[in-house]
Structure 1
Amino acid sequence: MPTTLKAKFDTRREAEMTVERLVQEQGIDRKNILIATDGDDNSVGSEQAGADTAGEDPTPQSRDDAALAGKIVVSVDIADDARAAEVKAAFNEFDASDVQG
């Protein structure tokens, strides 16, 4: 029976790492994964990470204008309930919160 699993992440980087884990190691089709903001505003998460953090020399000048307007939501549609444990393990590996499904 098809089901949708959802989780929220504090940073865009955590969400992206989760998606890559699901696609590359679990073989989930990228078309079955949706990444969105937890709200209507553009957001990179509720915390800075990766390219949104301060740079070190000799990189270009750091930016402090990251859109920190809320968490990032990853939704995964799976046709096989047995895969739910794999998806939830990937969510947990990258510090997901509010896991549903």
Structure 2
Amino acid sequence: MDDDNVRTIRGTFATREAADLAIEHLVQEHGIDRADIFVQAKDAANTSGIAPSGGDASRDAGGSDLDPALRGEIEVSADVSRDEIAAAEQAFREAGAAHLTTR
């Protein structure tokens, strides 16, 4: 993409499931290239979000449930063209994004 035409949209999500849903919508419904979408913990600690969502549950060797690492929000960012901003913002909102920014 031409650098003058590219904007970065960022949103934070309470669960990994919500972040994954936003990514799925960006790629499948709006045609955003997956290579232009990035996921990371909002803060320094590794996290599965701030609330369990089921998809991040795991079990130990004995079959007991382990609590997911709930240490903060998950940030999803996407580099999109100016023409894609409205669609990307809608996908983020529909998936439950908080603190949505575009620059």
Q: Please, what TM-score do these two structures have when normalized by structure 1?
A: 0.86
State the 1:25 CA deviation.
Answer: 1.0
Q: Which residue in 2 is equivalent to 1:36?
A: 40
Aligned partners of 2:43 and 2:72 also within 8 Å: yes
Counterpart CA distance in 1 for 2:34 and 2:57 is 27
State the 1:65 CA deviation.
Answer: 2.0
Q: Which residue in 1 is equivalent to 2:75?
A: 73
Q: Which residue in 2 is equivalent to 1:95?
A: 96
State the 1:61 CA deviation.
Answer: 4.6
Q: Which residue in 2 is equivalent to 1:57?
A: none
**Residues matched between the structures, number:** 96
Counterpart CA distance in 2 for 1:76 and 1:68 is 23
More strand as a share of residues: 2
RMSD across aligned C-alpha pairs, in angstroms?
A: 1.9
Aligned partners of 2:16 and 2:49 also within 8 Å: yes
One-letter amino acid matched to 1:99: L
Runs of 4+ deviating beyond 3 Å: none
Aligned partners of 2:57 and 2:67 also within 8 Å: no
Counterpart CA distance in 1 for 2:56 and 2:82 is 36
Aligned partners of 1:8 and 1:72 also within 8 Å: yes
